[in-house]
Amino acid sequence: MTSARGGSITASSKAGRPRFVLASASPRRIELLAQIGVTPDAVIPADIDESPRKDESPRAYVTRMAAEKASAVAAVEPGVVLAADTTVVAGRRILGKPADESEAAGFLRLLSGRRHRVMTAVTVMANGHARHRLVETVVRLRQLSDAEIAGYVAGGDWRGKAGGYGIQGPASAFVPWIQGSFSAVVGLPLSETSVLLSACGIAPATAKE
């Protein structure tokens, strides 16, 4: 079953709680929500312009993206709407999702042997009220050889991932050190998200124990 905007309906709303809508097509965010016992009633990606504004800081950008995604879906879908946005930041440079293999390889060469920041912003909207969280994690990639970069890019795991890598996949072999939230780097900070959802009547399984 699909929604009017093409998102798949994964379940009817559970008795005793509001309808819950995930404004993201990311399978990783669906999997992360499942870890805390939450299943969206609808999965509806937001269709917005994700281009950074001139001179926009990484924090302002990622926060705006999450808020705009939530607002876009909440405007046409009833219930509690969750949106998130993740970006990788090298210095002040925002590294979004690579357009092609060449850009993915360039991102990895830039991040090789250095620390960078991964910012994930979360917005939950309910009854016209928005709640926000921004989680920043520091990640270090070890020095990567040209062969390692080429092999990873050829495998395709970079597709659809900010910064050109996914910490939960083969690129985990590149990450010797992390400071902050692992789940936020994957795409959704679970502790902060759990608090936001609970405040809106979507109680994770962990909150029921």
Active site residue 146: no
Residue 206, pLDDT score: 58
Q: What is the pLDDT of residues 102-111, one digit of tens each?
A: 999 999 999 9
Which residue in this structure is represented by tokens 């936001």?
196
d(CA 22, CA 39) in angstroms, rounded, equals 9
d(CA 163, CA 106) in angstroms, rounded, equals 10
**Domains annotated on the chain, with CATH:** 20-203 (3.90.950.10)
pTM for the whole structure: 0.88
Listing DSSP states for 126-168 in one string gives ETTEEEEEEEEEEEEPPP--HHHHHHHHHHTTTTT-GGG--TT
Q: What is the pLDDT of residues 22-79, one digit of tens each?
A: 999 899 999 999 999 999 999 999 999 999 999 999 999 999 999 999 999 999 999 9
What count of other Cβ atoms lies within 10 Å of the Cβ of residue 112? Answer: 16
pLDDT exceeds cutoff 70 at 143: yes
Catalytic residue among 41, 85, 100, 157: 85
SS3 179: strand
Identify whether the C-beta of residue 11 lies closer than 8 Å to the C-beta of residue 39: yes
Return the closest-CA partner of residue 113 out of 137, 148, 154, 152.
148
Q: What is the largest CA-CA distance in the chain?
A: 54
